[in-house]
Structure 1
């Protein structure tokens, strides 16, 4: 069994932690939410949803990485804007053989982490179709786990990449490994942009967005612009119909509320800059019009200004 630290044990990270601990791995959860850490320490971590309903004990849950020591696998599962801080906190967990997986929405996080972490020990992760949430401290729920993909960031060996993927597989995740990391990341991003900002702006679930003509017009427009930006960069998605791909993945978790909406409802900062905002920034740089994403970003930022004013 492996020693695993999950830096960013929020909704998604708690699903990873719970299923890995249930499989017998030695799992340490690090979260910015003191009440979540305290509840896990006191009662265990409950994971419910498509994987069943189970409560497991982690090796420890805390708000710091102190005292954990070197791990076999370090998963950085924070929000994109917390990656640099998390990477610095993770340094004491990393030995010569440690594999570090960065798993964030949007683009740019692996590059930010690589400024601090050993790039030749890094893998890039993409997950999707989970619909994860934290209904209460100490409890993570997920509606699915459709996508769990990894690829090398730089000089990671095949053996290390496979070994880190096996930890996930042994815990019940269906893992696919990709040689083309950019294509892998953008396959997920074209889905994120369709639902994340749209849900935050409207308050709708993924299924409601797909089922409402007005909402889907916004979501589809965001995704089509992302596909155009992707093509302008010369990235091959390898998907015959990208919009059908987005609809198919989204249709598998109709009751899910994307994390950006959940963050907004909880009064927390969301990842609009890393998701829809990335399309606007790259579009401006590449000369690709992105009017739908531009408006969605403006609406979400206006909402956030009220929350944080």
Structure 2
């Protein structure tokens, strides 16, 4: 089978390196990437480093133009949200009715956006608990996270996708086929979305945010606004998740900063569309109030000059 990894950054590097190390040449692993990172992978391969392991893999093909790749049996999307629609458009020639699209992006609305571009295509949304980044062109380093990847269909037969779990697990990826992936996506989003918005707006680290009484209260308020939105979207989250997430944030190294926060602070394009803006826009559509998100969004816009 030909498997395409679309976006070989931190998350895509994880999938690509594991799959290529285990399955090449049994399966044809293709990397879709751009820029200096692509050039380095073409010349030297992809080096993927964790705390206790380092691998160097060479894909069957590394390209910035999927049109010439041929049919993909499985496409794993790991691009940033802002690049999702262009990436999907570029994949059209590679997909047929039997191809599967697996997503590993931030956000709870990714599968719907995929189906808008690729109507009729089987799209399996997923979320991964992993922190990794491009350390230098051709090098991806994992710095945290358990690496668990939850995925599954939003409706229909779950078991027919069990082979994907087996495929990924065989490569050392901690894949879990989830019968209620919608709830799983919202559970992650509750934590990541609220913390990303809070830290990007205040400029505080995660440790400072959960230990300062005022920002701790704001974090709780942001989570409650997301819970209300999740409920309106048909995903019920347990009240206990608030306390669990506060405790989880306290266990993270206190100096840690979120990726959204770092992007805002360094002037890079930030994924506001899947975090703060998404909550505000969706809440507005459903007649819900999200005053803390609105206040935080004003602060973030001042920082980025919008």
Contact 2:78/2:105 (CA < 8 Å) preserved in 1?
yes
After TM superposition, the structure 1 = structure 2 runs for residues 293-304 of structure 1, keeping only pairs within 5 Å, are 293-304=293-304
- Following superposition, the deviation at residue 155 of structure 1 comes to 5.6
Cα distance in 2 for partners of 1:82, 1:156 equals 30
1:6-32 deviations in Å (ceiling 9; x for gaps) = 112222111211122122243222124
The alpha-carbon distance between structure 1 residues 300 and 147, as it changes in their structure 2 partners (threshold 3 A), is: farther
Partner of 1:9: 8
Tell which deviates more after alignment, 271-280 or 239-248.
239-248
Q: Structure 1 residues 138, 252: CA separation in 2 closer, same or farther (over 3 Å shift)?
A: farther
Q: How far apart are the structure 1 equivalents of 2:174 and 2:93?
A: 29
Q: CA deviation at 1:108?
A: 2.2
SS at match of 2:289: coil
After TM superposition, give the deviation of residue 148 of structure 1 in Å: 0.9
Question: What is the TM-score of this pair, normalised by structure 1?
Answer: 0.85
2:140 is aligned with 1:111 = no
Residue pair 2:67, 2:91 contacting (<8 A) in 1 also: no
Paired with 1:287 and 1:116, the residues of 2 have a C-alpha distance of: 27
Aligned to 2:186: 186
Partner of 2:65: 64
Is the 1:87–1:116 Cα contact (8 Å) retained in structure 2? yes
User: 1 CA distance for matches of 2:117 and 2:149?
Assistant: 25
Aligned partner of 1:121 in structure 2 is 122
Structure 1 residues 96-107: aligned runs within 5 Å: 96-107=97-108
Which 5+ residue runs of structure 1 have no aligned equivalent? none
Q: Which residue number corresponds to residue 245 of structure 1?
A: 244
Q: 1:233 to 1:122 in 2, by over 3 A?
A: closer
Partner of 1:53: 54
Deviation, 1:132, is 1.8
Shift of 1:169: 1.0
Are the structure 2 counterparts of residues 204 and 54 from structure 1 closer, same or farther at C-alpha, using a change threshold of 3 Å? farther
The Cα RMSD (Å) is: 2.6
Distance change >3 Å, CA 158–CA 119, structure 1 → 2: farther
Q: Does the Cα contact within 8 Å between 1:6 and 1:17 map onto a contact in 2?
A: yes
How far has the Cα of 1:146 moved from its partner? 4.4
| Residues 299 and 64 of structure 1: CA distance in aligned 2, closer, same or farther (over 3 Å) | farther
Instruction: State the distance in 1 between where 2:89 and 2:172 align.
Output: 30
Q: How many Å apart are 1:284 and its aligned residue?
A: 2.5
Report if the CA contact (8 A) 2:101-2:121 is conserved: no
1:120·1:156 contact (CA, 8 Å) conserved in 2?
no
Asked whether the 8 Å contact 1:207–1:250 carries over to 2, the reply is yes
Q: What displacement does 1:294 show?
A: 1.3
